[in-house]
Structure 1
């Protein structure tokens, strides 16, 4: 294997880990929404869960593209993922400050 294919394999595995982590975070936000009783207060966590599900799909598709040898430029995927994670982190911080549970 050459260095380029090894780097692509490492990057593909990183995208797969990102997809798995995004799905775990989405499940946690959905759990929080369900515990709130699906009221209006659960709108932000539900939106965050949907955002993380989209990140998971994007990450998995980037992983598949790298495995298929379509290296391309991943700048758009990286920027979209970073912005989505930042937005969801803000939602998580807001939930932590407004609804601190032991």
Structure 2
């Protein structure tokens, strides 16, 4: 039931992005913002990187959530989504240089 509502909210949101004025769109947007983790995990499952990018541009998740999404994509072996997420991490936050001296 929850997945159906989430999928429906994603469809409403992505169909109405250009206009973005309808009450239905605003409700879908509010719903997705509160369930960004579930929404991104669903898009990772589908390897829908275009929609993942659109949600990322909304600024609804931080580096911590991004790391959760990266682990999720690794666990589910969703390589296209994983590559996209790793590029996003590199672009937005970079990688820490680690010191391995003895």
TMscore range, shorter length: under 0.3
Q: TM-score, normalised by structure 1?
A: 0.27
Q: TM-score, normalised by structure 2?
A: 0.27
Higher helix share: 1
Q: Higher Cα Rg: structure 1 or 2?
A: 1
